Amino acid sequence: MSWKLFLNSLKIWVGALIINSFLIFVYATATENIGAGILVSVFCFIGGAFVTAPLLVIVYHLLKISFRIPYGLQAQLAWFGFTLATIVVALFIGVALWTRIWWEEKDFQLFPVGIFLSIIISVSISFGSLRKLRKSIYEHSLA
């Protein structure tokens, strides 16, 4: 069961990375040029995968908790998506404020919005597989 949970967490994480890279691509292309867009988005995807790998632990545990709260599936997943996005954005802003590297840049102020959207979209896309996972978890607990 935990293997399925891990796979779903991985799916959400990878999905969020891809969507975020795509959003960065659109923004960088719109403000600079298509070449810069591709370069920045590829860099963000690879760099983001390395930097945010530890977040998988948070995704995994949060998903586990979300299935335990006494709400319907939609509410559980909405809570999961929102809480995950809030935690990740808070971590990002915390690091940015601590290092004081990015915060002055106007483009980077849009970055947390992009991260938030990416996570929410990624969770929404995974809705079907998360529904199946929840069903199997409940059946498993009943058995």
Partner 1 sequence: MKRERAKLLAIVAGGVLFNLVFWREKIALNTLLYDVFLLLILFSLYPKARRSSTVGWLTLGHLICLAMIVVHNSVISKVGCCITMALLAGFIEYIHRSAWYAGGSVLLNGGFVIASLFESFQFEKTSTPGKRKYGKLILFAIIPLLFSIIFILIYSSANSVFSEVVGKFWKWLGTSITDFLDLISWQRFFFLLAGLYLTGWIILKSRMDFFEKKENKCEDELLRRRKTATEKRNDLLNSISRNLMGKLGKGMLALKNMNTVGLLSLVLLNILLLIVNGIDIAYLWFGFEYGKDVNLYKVIHQGTDMLIISILLAMAILIIFFRGNLNFYRHNKWLKYGSYAWIIQNCILVFSVFLRDYYYISQTGLAYKRIGVLFYLLLVMTGLVTVFWKIYRKKTTYYLFRVNAWSVIILLVGATTVNWDEFIAAYNFRQKDKILMPVDYMLTLSNKAIPLLEQNADVLREQLKKQEQLGFLKDPCEACVVNSLQEKKEAFMNAQSGYSWLSYNLSDASIKRYFSESSKLSSK
Residues that bind partner 1 (CB under 8 A): 26-27, 29-31, 33-34, 38, 69-72, 74-76, 78-79, 82-83, 109-110, 113
CB atoms within 10 A of CB 17: 20
Closest CA to 64 of 127, 126, 3, 128: 3
The residues near 132 (Cβ < 8 Å, ≥ 6 apart) are none
Closest CA to 23 of 6, 47, 40: 40
CB of 143 to partner 1, least distance (A): 25
CB of 69 to partner 1, least distance (A): 6
CB of 53 to partner 1, least distance (A): 25
CB of 32 to partner 1, least distance (A): 8
48 versus 81: smaller Cβ distance to partner 1 = 81
10 versus 34: smaller Cβ distance to partner 1 = 34
2 versus 72: smaller Cβ distance to partner 1 = 72
Closest CA to 20 of 122, 138, 118, 124: 118
6 versus 89: smaller Cβ distance to partner 1 = 89
Cα 93 to chain center, whole Å? Answer: 15
